[in-house]
Amino acid sequence: MSDLFKKELLFKILVVGDFGVGKTSIIKRYAEGTFSPKYKMTIGADFALKQLDWDSETRINIQLWDIAGHERFGYLTSVYYRYAVAAAIVFDLTRPDTFFAVAKWLADLRDKVSLPVGRPLPVIILANKGDVAANKVPPQIEEFCKKNHITSWYVTSAKENRNIDEAMNRVVVEVLENQRNNNLYNSDSVMLAEEMHTDKHNNGQLCCSR
Amino acid sequence: MTRQEIEKDWEWLFSNVCETLHSFDKEEDITEFVIKKIESVMATNQECQDFEDEDSKSFKITMDKFHQLFNLPRDEKLVNYYSCSYWKGKIPRQGRMYLSVNYCCFHAYILGLETKICIRWSDVIVLGKTNSVLFPDSIKVAIRGKEHYFSMFLRKAETFNLMEQLADLAAKRLIDERRGFNEDKDLLSKLSKNVPKKPSFLKRDLDARAHSEAYRLLFRLPHTEKLDGSIDCTLMTPYNKRHVSGRLFLSQNYICFDSRVKGQVSLIIPLRDVKLVEKMETSASNPSLDKAIIITTKNTIDKTAFLFAQILDRDFLVQKLSELLARTNDLIFGRSNGGGDAQLQTVEFAWKCQPPLMTLFPLTVIPDVLKKQKEKELKWESHFNVYGRGISMYRTTDISKLVLDGIPDSLRMDIWMAFSGAANEKATHPGYYKSLVNQALLQQSTANDEIERDLHRSLPEHLAFQNDTGIDALRRVLCAYALKNPNIGYCQAMNIVASVLLIYCAEEEAFWLLATLCENLLPDYYNTKVVGAVVDQGILDDLLSENMPNLHAKLVKLGMLNMISLSWFLTIFLSVMPYESAVNVIDCFFYDGAKVIFQVALMILKLNQEELLNCRDEGEAMQLLADYLMGVHNDDGRGAIRNKSYDDQQRKIRVQDLIYKAYTNFGTISTGVIEKFRLKHRLKVVQELEANFENNAIRSVASDGYMTSIELQSLLNIIREEYLSQKKMMSEKNDPAL
């Protein structure tokens, strides 16, 4: 999938969370620098590209996959999870129940995607709509992250462009770290792709990294 | 009934019922009791008759044997049995196949060797005809982990069709738990002629179902419509003054006609529109008018009469027609009364049905577009002048051409209503929408909450939905439908479809179109597991591998066919194309049925074949298709103003060209073909869902370490067995027909 040797990387990053939490807004803000209060809803999945010149010799192409949050499609979304290297789980600060759903999304991700050599997928949490309810951050979030080995979470606002770039940079750092470690084991990412493909037939037996 | 009979019954009532009436105080109670009593007496009488008429003696003997052999409960109904052989290893065993409502069984007893097989229909994953060296000319029945082969049938086609039908019914029951199997007792009392004797009543019932299904598909009628019968005749076509031979079909609510030459002409007359049926005097001078009838409709604009001739059994047809007409009039009267009552009981909210939102929120006029719309309107008007307008217009290839080119905005509502059959639903349910809305708005429900969240993200680019007028109308339509059909409730994507319907159609019309779409055109699409859409995704996969094997292989490798097609199916391209282009696909969809979606989907892939084959990853391919679809433009229509990036989209193809190419390239994909495919995939998808569900359950429990996965699997199998037989009993208990 990506071309590691020419220092041009391709990262597939999933953006998940309950419906209406602002996944599309965050992605549009990050990839296109725009915000509109009226995005059309996503059916299935949508995606956007962002090119990031990370340092003088690395260019990163980020594929952001916007995955529909409606539960009726939930069991169909695993096809979109293939080859993902990281994920952002979004919840809506104005709707507490969307925070409780974060655990469900995390379990889903950990269940369906895992990196080779059993590493868990790097995940960050985005507490969105920080422009309206920045003071409503659920107190449990710190403990939740610690318990689930999530290194960072951010209060974001797609509307006011708050913390989005910072959060995405953090994800990229984690992915790069992961890749560096992976390279010790396996330098060919195409191989990895093949492996994951064949494992799909075993009903995801491999994916029990919990 | 004679006077004598009536008096006899009255005497019985007098001596048996009147005595007990003294124990009641109130007059209402007495009335109620008497009514109930008479009803129950009638029911028992009916039952006695049924048992006599249903099945022949020899069939009953076989049924007993069947129950004994396979140790099945007596209420397990045998449909038919066939002689055939079963391949046990390389040796065929001659015996008998028994097909019942829930099981496919086989029994053989030769030279002291007994073979007994009992397969539950709801376990069948694959059912197919095969022909291999090992199993020549066989029917294959596969369940999880096992395959069975049967061959040497006397009537293989008949047997296979019946097996398919039973397996499909079982799959549908698994999708929709409430859908029990109801025998159609109406068949018993049906006035019929020349019906060949069938081995069992159930077989007759199932055959009738299959015929009704085909009939409904042919004329795109509501899923409740039952075919009564059909007869050869000719139809006089006034536009060219000819007599076209074909077949006339009759069901509870419709008279339909289809020409023998496919596509020449078809006609649908709702019975509620029929004013008069007359026999025409036979004139010796004109033999083509022999044995003719004239059906006059209540059409107020221009009085229309349809002339059918050469009806061999004219008297019978007329008798049948008057019988059905009498029933239709009762029905409409009864329903409209019911609607009125419901309104009185609920709180009246201050709202009114909105007209098409495009009339309230007109877009800025583009002279070119306006001119094209006017031209189209003229073309359609002159078509109406020749072929009639509304549901009962003569449908010829001429109208197909007009539809393919796109219906003008101003006529969309009426044409959609007529073609989809929604017009009939609306006409037979006066006041229903209003009372549904009033009830729905009072309610608190998850569906309502979910709808609320999605209202502003349905068609945000249109002015109508940046305004309470549009949003309120959308809320009413969706909430009312969620209440009407709790099986579906609300599923995302319905909001997108409904919002576009509201642009072109008045509110109540939009509601009935949505209902028709959910229930007839896209069955099971929006239920809790979107099973129908998954089934159709599987079909697209098959069709693609058949038509473009290279591209299919590539997309499988990228793992993306299912990613792209979900939104195509669930929103009929509305969420991926500019809506003013996608509505042209919807024009064809209401006219020609769901097969259009497949044709257009395949054409889109074909047109992008080269580029897709060169894509390096699924992201690139997704982007390619997304850009292409947003570039499908419609110069004859006009969409709402969108954001800048949208208007910068490249113009890739005219939607009219796309549709035309889809029809010419994939013309062989007919509704019949799609239905066959749906049957096959439904079995597979339902089984996969069950298997997935079980695997997940086992995985989450197995981590406890108390039991191994294998132990859990066998435990689950036992529970499933019990659960299914329980469910079967429950559904039969609840079944009002039994």
Domain CATH code at residue A98: 3.40.50.300
Distance (Å) from the C-alpha of residue B525 to the closest C-alpha of chain A?
11
Residue range B592-601, pLDDT digits in tens: 989 999 999 9
Read off the CATH number of the domain in which B554 is found: 1.10.472.80
**Greatest Cα-to-Cα distance within chain B, rounded to the nearest angstrom:** 91
B495 contacts chain A (CB < 8 A)? yes
**Whether pLDDT at B22 is above 80:** no
Position B13 pLDDT exceeds 90 = no
* pLDDT over 60 at B435, yes or no: yes
CB < 8 Å to B459, chain A: 40
Under 8 Å between Cβ of B99 and B80: yes
Q: Is the pLDDT of residue B539 over 60?
A: yes
The answer, for B575 touching chain A at a CB cutoff of 8 Å, is yes
Number of H helices, E strands in chain B: 28, 16
Which amino acid makes up residue B568?
Answer: W
Rounded CA gap, B339 and B438, in Å?
12
- Based on the domain organization, do B257 and B283 belong to the same domain? yes
List B17's β-bridge partners, or say none: none
Residues B535 and B516 in one domain: no
**A187 within a domain of the structure (yes/no):** yes
Q: Please tell me the distance from the alpha carbon of residue A163 to that of residue A93, in angstroms, as a whole number.
A: 15
pLDDT value, residue B52? 43
CB contacts, 8 Å: B699 with chain A? 208
Q: What span, in angstroms and rounded, lies between the C-alpha atoms of B223 and B736?
A: 19
Q: What is the DSSP string of B546-557?
A: HH-HHHHHHHHH
Residues of chain A with Cβ-Cβ distance to B560 below 8 Å are 79
**Domain check: are B238 and B126 in the same one?**
no
Could you tell me the residue range of the domain that residue A31 belongs to?
A: 7-203
| Structure-token pair, residue B393 | 């217009």
Q: What is the mean pLDDT of residues B710-738?
A: 66
Query: Is residue A185 in some structural domain?
Result: yes
Predicted pLDDT at B224: 83
Q: Check if A104 contacts B (Cβ < 8 Å).
A: no
Query: What string of DSSP letters covers A159-183?
Result: TTTBSHHHHHHHHHHHHHHHHHHHH
Residue B144 contacts A where some CB pair is shorter than 8 Å? no
Rounded to an integer, the average pLDDT of B460-483 is: 94
**Residue in this structure with the two tokens 């030459």, named with its chain if needed:** B261
B528 part of contact set with chain A, CB < 8 Å = yes
Residue A117 belongs to some domain of the structure = yes
Write the DSSP assignment of B223-282 as a string of letters.
TT--EEEEEEEEEEETTTTEEEEEEEEEESSEEEEEESSTTS-EEEEEGGGEEEEEEPPP
The reply to whether B47 and B123 lie within a common domain is yes
Q: Given pLDDT bands bounded at 50, 70 and 90, which one contains residue B428?
A: confident
Single pTM value for the model: 0.81
A208 within some domain: no
Domain presence at residue A133: yes
At residue B104, the pLDDT reads 92
- Confidence at residue B517, expressed as pLDDT on a 0 to 100 scale: 94
Q: What angle do CA B71, B77, B82 make, to 5 degrees?
A: 85
User: Which pLDDT does position A125 carry in this prediction?
Assistant: 95
| Rounded distance between C-alpha atoms, residue B245 and residue B251, angstroms | 20
Is it the case that residue B738 has pLDDT exceeding 50? Answer: no
Residue A12 touches partner B, C-beta closer than 8 Å: yes
Tell me: pLDDT of B62 over 80.
yes
Task: Output the pLDDT for position A205.
Answer: 35
Residues B58 and B163 in one domain: yes
Q: Is residue A209 part of a domain?
A: no
Residue B718 lies in a domain: no
Last residue of a domain, one of B627, B649, B669: B669
| CB contact (8 A) between residue B559 and residue A68 | no
Pairs of residues, one from chain A and one from chain B, whose beta carbons lie less than 8 Å apart? 89
> Of B114, B148, B175, which residue sits at a domain end?
B175
- State pLDDT tens for residues B692-703: 878 877 877 777
Pick B529's closest partner by Cβ from A44, A45, A72: A72
Task: Output the pLDDT for position A208.
Answer: 34
* Per-residue confidence (pLDDT) for residue B343, from 0 to 100: 44
Write out chain A residues lying below 8 Å of B619, CB-based. 10, 12, 47, 49, 63
Residues of A in contact with B645 (CB under 8 A): 32
A43 near B CB under 8 A: yes
Chain B contact for A25, CB < 8 A? no
- Give Cα separations from B596 to B420, B521, B582, B588 (angstroms): 14, 11, 12, 7
Q: Which tokens in the block code for residue B494?
A: 């319905």
The pLDDT score that the predictor gives to residue A1 is 47
Contact A38 B460 (CB under 8 A): yes
Check if the beta carbon of residue B324 is closer than 8 Å to that of residue B271: yes
Q: What is the per-residue pLDDT for B572? A: 95
CATH number at residue B70: 2.30.29.30
Instruction: Measure CB to CB from residue B566 to each of A1, A44, A82 and give the nearest one.
Output: A44
pLDDT tens by residue, chain A, 210 residues: 444 446 788 899 999 998 889 899 999 999 988 888 778 888 888 888 888 888 888 889 999 998 876 778 777 777 788 888 999 999 999 998 999 999 989 988 888 887 766 678 899 999 999 888 878 888 888 899 988 888 889 999 999 999 999 999 999 999 988 878 776 655 444 444 444 443 334 333 333 333
Note whether B369 and B330 are same-domain residues: no
In a domain, B103, yes or no: yes
Mean pLDDT computed over B397-424: 92
DSSP string, A137-151: --TTHHHHHHHTT--
> ipTM value of the model?
0.80
- Overall number of domains in chain A: 1
Name chain A contacts of B562, Cβ cutoff 8 Å: 76, 79
On whether both B592 and B484 belong to a single domain, the answer is no
Q: Clarify whether residues B563 and B621 are in a common domain.
A: yes
Measured between CA atoms, the residue of chain A closest to residue B560 is A79
Assess whether B22 and B151 both reside in one domain: yes
Q: Is residue A87 part of a domain?
A: yes
d(CA B146, CA A135): 59
pLDDT at residue A135 in the model: 81
The pLDDT value recorded for residue A6 is 61
Give the per-residue pLDDT at B613.
Answer: 95
Written as one string, the DSSP assignment of A44-56 is SEEEEEEEEEEET
- The mean pLDDT value for B151-155 works out to 82
Q: Which of A19-28, B73-82, B214-223, B643-652 has the lowest mean pLDDT?
A: B643-652
The answer as to whether A195 is a domain residue is: yes
Give me A90's structure tokens: 């979004």
* pLDDT tens, residue by residue, B550-576: 999 999 988 888 888 889 999 999 999
Q: Is the pLDDT of residue B335 over 60?
A: no
Kindly determine whether residue A73 and residue B567, on different chains, have CB atoms separated by under 8 Å: no
Domain assignment present for B426: yes
CA angle B701, B706, B708 (to 5 degrees): 75
Q: In this structure, are residues A86 and A182 in contact, taking their beta carbons and an 8 Å threshold?
A: no
Question: Is B517 found in the same domain as B541?
Answer: no
B382 domain-assigned = yes
Q: Which helix (H) or strand (E) holds B677?
A: helix B671-702
Q: Are A157 and A131 in contact (CB under 8 A)?
A: yes
Total number of domains in chain B:
4
Burial string for B294-309 (b: 16+ CB within 10 Å, else e) reads ebebebeeeebebbbb
Residue B581 has pLDDT above 90, yes or no: yes
User: Is B452 in the same domain as B584?
Assistant: no
Q: How far apart are CA B80 and CA B243, in angstroms?
A: 42
CA B155 – CA B177 distance, rounded (Å): 33
- Let me know: does B464 contact B472? Beta carbons within 8 Å: no
Whether residues B454 and B542 share a domain: the answer is no
> Edge-to-edge strands of the sheet including B91-100?
B113-120, B103-110, B91-100, B78-88, B146-151, B138-143, B124-130
Q: Mark which of B650, B669, B688 sits at the end of a domain.
A: B669
Domain hosting residue B76, numbered range = 3-175
Among B294-308, B343-357, B461-475, B686-700, the range scoring the smallest mean pLDDT is B343-357
Residue B727 confidence (pLDDT): 61
